[in-house]
Structure formats: structure tokens, C-alpha cells
Structure 1
Amino acid sequence: MAVAVIMEFKGATLAQYDQVIEKMNLTKGGPGPAGALGHWVAATDDGLLVTDLWQSREQYEAFARDQIGPYSAEAGIPEQPKVTYLDVHNYFTPGADA
């Protein structure tokens, strides 16, 4: 079952986010990692809000353990994110034929 993952990074900056994305060898607007269905990020008054859509919670958790956590620490992000999981009832795939 698809899962929405909402990550709130208190004290993080967009510059730090860009460093993490570079370390993951991902590019803005490009394809995501295996298992990821969608992603967006925005600055908030006190940090960053990252919202992902994954094929499963297990795929996200493995990616978070292996890449998000270590690379966020390397970029100097001060805290682990507050993470919220939501079971997804439906989602749309851009560019998919109807």
C-alpha cells in the first residue's frame, strides 16, 4: 500500500536540503529513488517541510536509514525530522495515459 511521508526538519535550510539531494545523486525535477512515487519540499518559518509518496513504508524507512539520515547529518541539519505516515487511498501519476 502506498504511504505518504511528511517530514518536518526544524532548523534546516534549503541550502542544506540541496546538499543532501546532491549527495544522493538526485537532481531537481529528475527521477526519484526506487520506490518513490512523488516528492516536494518547501521552506517553513522554522525549517523545511518535505512530503513524499512511497510505494511502501518499508521502502521509505530503508531509504531514510541508508541515505536521508546520514546525508542530513553530513549537511549539518541539526535534528532528526518529525515524521508522519499516512496510508494513501489514491494518487495520480503525472503523464500517465488515461
Structure 2
Amino acid sequence: MAVGMLMMMPGVTQDQYEAVNKRMFGGEMTPDKAPDGLIMHSAGPAGDGWYIYDVWESKEHFGRFAEEQVQPAVREVMGDAAAGGAQPEFYEIANLVHGR
């Protein structure tokens, strides 16, 4: 069953988010570079930081992506302390509609 993943990252900037993406994808994430199991990705400014809201096929898909790609990229861009900082929240998705 699909899950929503929300991660709030106080103090994170757009420049840092873009640097992490560049490390993982060579630039922006595009559909042809999307990780296995990702259904939808969104991100943007939130208060004093940055948010990510994704929809994944499963928590396990997100977990593999986080362990294999996100954490190493965050360590490289922002240092070891940042790699374990933000904790994702997961939500079961009962209805997911793709617009036209």
C-alpha cells in the first residue's frame, strides 16, 4: 500500500536541498532519474526551513533510498550531524488521484 512521507527540516535552505539533489542525481531529480518506488515528490520552503512530501510504494522503498542515496549525499553536503537530523513521518494513503 502506498505511503505518504513528510519530512520537515528546520534550518535547511533551498541551496542545501539543491546541493543534495545535485550529489544524488547530477542536478534536479527528473522522472527518468526517480528512485525505485517513488510515486510523487514535492519540496519547498516551510517556516524557517524546508519540507519534503513524497508518496512511495512502501516505507521500505523510501528506507532503501534514504540509506543508499540520501544519507551519503547529506553527509557529503552538510556533514555527519545533519545526516540523522530530520525524521520522516509516514501516513497510509487510502486514496491517491493523479490529475489530468
Give yes or no for TM over 0.5: yes
Output the CA distance in 2 between the equivalents of 1:55 and 1:27: 24
CA-based RMSD of the aligned residues comes to 1.9
Residue 92 (structure 1) aligned with residue 88 (structure 2): no
Deviation at 1:29, TM superposition (A): 6.6
- Size of the alignment, in residue pairs? 95
Instruction: Give the letter aligned to residue 34 of structure 1.
Output: D
Q: Greater relative contact order (Cα 8 A, min sep 6): structure 1 or 2?
A: 1
Residue 58 of structure 2 corresponds to which residue in structure 1?
A: 56
Instruction: Give the letter aligned to residue 14 of structure 1.
Output: Q
Percent identity for Structure 1 against Structure 2:
27
For the 8 Å contact 2:12–2:49, the answer to whether it is kept is: yes
- 1:24-82 Cα shifts (integer Å, max 9, x gaps): 11654721211100011111222111000000100101101111112112221763213
Give the secondary-structure state (helix, strand or coil) at the position aligned to 1:9: strand
Give the secondary-structure state (helix, strand or coil) at the position aligned to 2:61: helix
Deviation at 1:93, TM superposition (A): 3.1
Residue 73 (structure 1) aligned with residue 75 (structure 2): yes
For the 8 Å contact 2:9–2:51, the answer to whether it is kept is: yes
Deviation at 1:94, TM superposition (A): 4.8
For the 8 Å contact 2:22–2:28, the answer to whether it is kept is: no
Instruction: Give the letter aligned to residue 13 of structure 1.
Output: T
TM-score normalised by structure 1 residue count = 0.84
TM-score normalised by structure 2 residue count = 0.83
More helix by share: 2
Instruction: Give the letter aligned to residue 51 of structure 2.
Output: L
Where in structure 2 are there 5+ consecutive unaligned residues?
none
Where in structure 1 are there 5+ consecutive unaligned residues?
none
